[in-house]
Amino acid sequence: MATLLSDLVSGATHVPSNYVRPAHDRPNLDQVQSSDHSIPLINLQGLEDTRRSDIIKQIGLACQDYGFFQVQNHGIEEAVIDNMLSVSKEFFHLPESERLKSFSDDPLKTTRLSTSFNVKTEEVSSWRDYLRLHCYPLEDYMHEWPSNPPSFREDVAEYCRNVRGLAVRLLESISESLGLEGDYMNKALGKHGQHMAINYYPTCPQPELTYGLPGHADPNVITVLLQDDVAGLQVLNNGKWVAVKPIPHTFIVNIADQIQVLSNDRYKSVLHRAVVNCNKERISIPTFYCPSYDAVMEPAPQLIDDHHPPLYRSFTYAEFYEKFWDRGLNTRSSLDLFKTTSHSA
């Protein structure tokens, strides 16, 4: 029978051995930098009119220098965000038998509850349970979602619709920041895909020994992250891990692997990780905005010239995602497998 981390470790005083990282691969929490301005905070008010060029410039600089930024005044109502967080917490506080109705370790299932990352291939487990949902087009997937808590489908669908709108607007801005047509990225993604994870990180008796998720880059296009008020996200910047403080009702946006390809390395997909703590459980909700599996990814022709040859070959997103899943979460990017031969190290 499947066991979720939250049921396994309830009341534990030690981290079980299969969660303990080797000494060279631990969070070293005392060496992590922390500041209020660890990543840029961008106010999206006026993106559709008066401040558009200024905001697009800010987004371009954030993509180039950090690969991460936070957005406020993004147009998503606070109630939509609050409902999403509260129904997520309610789901993970349901009785085990109720939660396990959604359990599956088959990565091809479009709605599934699981634990860690890829329990079949990983050597060390990660300190999280998660509910993974596909959410675009909504009508194809909603009926598979948990029906308990009673408002789950309605609250999550409303959230998904809103975040998709934000993702599309951000992709327009990122396209323009590269000097491309505003609709370039959205056209490049084929029919588009949208998945989300609701990550649940239980309290951990020895947080210095394990990760909620180890350092990794995201395989998709952009990730739009909602987190509760408990810190845990850390981003690699200039070779140092930096803690990102949660700001209520904002989203954290990060560049993922496909933008690195489309931009021909002008914008880089950045390593990030989740750490845990011994006092408070944490919920984070990343939305992974994706190409459809049949979409062909390649550097934008407008960004290629004699001085900037293409760094990646063409590939379908299905091909890329399969490699990512098999490799598991580690700091070696799957992008290396798709570089043009003349530029692979």
Q: Indicate the domain borders of the chain.
A: 5-337
Label residue 10 by pLDDT band (50, 70, 90). Answer: confident
Tokens of 225: 């992250």
Query: What is the percent of the chain with per-residue pLDDT over 70, rounded to a whole number?
Result: 94
Tokens 């020994």 belong to residue? 209
Tokens of 179: 């000097």
Label residue 330 by pLDDT band (50, 70, 90). Answer: low
Instruction: State residue 27's pLDDT score.
Output: 94
Instruction: State residue 1's pLDDT score.
Output: 44
Q: What are phi and psi of 226, to 5 degrees?
A: -110, 130
- Report the alpha-carbon distance of residue 302 to residue 325 in Å, rounded: 31
Instruction: State residue 8's pLDDT score.
Output: 77
Lowest mean pLDDT among 62-71, 262-271, 285-294, 328-337: 328-337
What is the pairing mode between strands 41-43 and 68-72? parallel
Label residue 294 by pLDDT band (50, 70, 90). Answer: very high
Mean pLDDT of 148-165: 98
Contacts of 161 (CB under 8 A, 6+ apart): 138
Mean pLDDT of 323-342: 74
Instruction: State residue 116's pLDDT score.
Output: 78
Of 162, 141, 140, whose CA–CA distance to 82 is shortest? 162
Lowest mean pLDDT among 58-67, 98-107, 253-262: 98-107
Label residue 345 by pLDDT band (50, 70, 90). Answer: very low
Mean pLDDT of 239-256: 94
- CATH classification (class only), 5-337: mainly beta
Instruction: State residue 121's pLDDT score.
Output: 64
**The residue type at 106:** D
Q: What is the CA radius of gyration of the chain?
A: 20
Label residue 6 by pLDDT band (50, 70, 90). Answer: confident
Instruction: State residue 314's pLDDT score.
Output: 96
Label residue 9 by pLDDT band (50, 70, 90). Answer: confident
The answer to whether the beta carbons of residues 255 and 268 sit under 8 Å apart is yes
Question: Which of helix, strand or coil describes residue 234?
Answer: strand
Residue 169 has pLDDT above 90, yes or no: yes
Label residue 300 by pLDDT band (50, 70, 90). Answer: very high
Instruction: State residue 336's pLDDT score.
Output: 87
Instruction: State residue 344's pLDDT score.
Output: 46
Mean pLDDT of 3-18: 82
What is the pairing mode between strands 240-243 and 213-216? unpaired
DSSP run (H or E) holding 10 = none
**The residue type at 61:** L
What is the pairing mode between strands 233-237 and 240-243? antiparallel
Omega of the bond prior to 137 within 30 degrees of 0, cis? yes
Polymer length of the chain: 345
42 forms beta bridges with: 71
Residue 331 has pLDDT above 60, yes or no: no
Lowest mean pLDDT among 59-68, 306-315, 331-340: 331-340
Sign of the dihedral defined by the CA atoms of residues 15, 18, 20, 26, in that order: negative
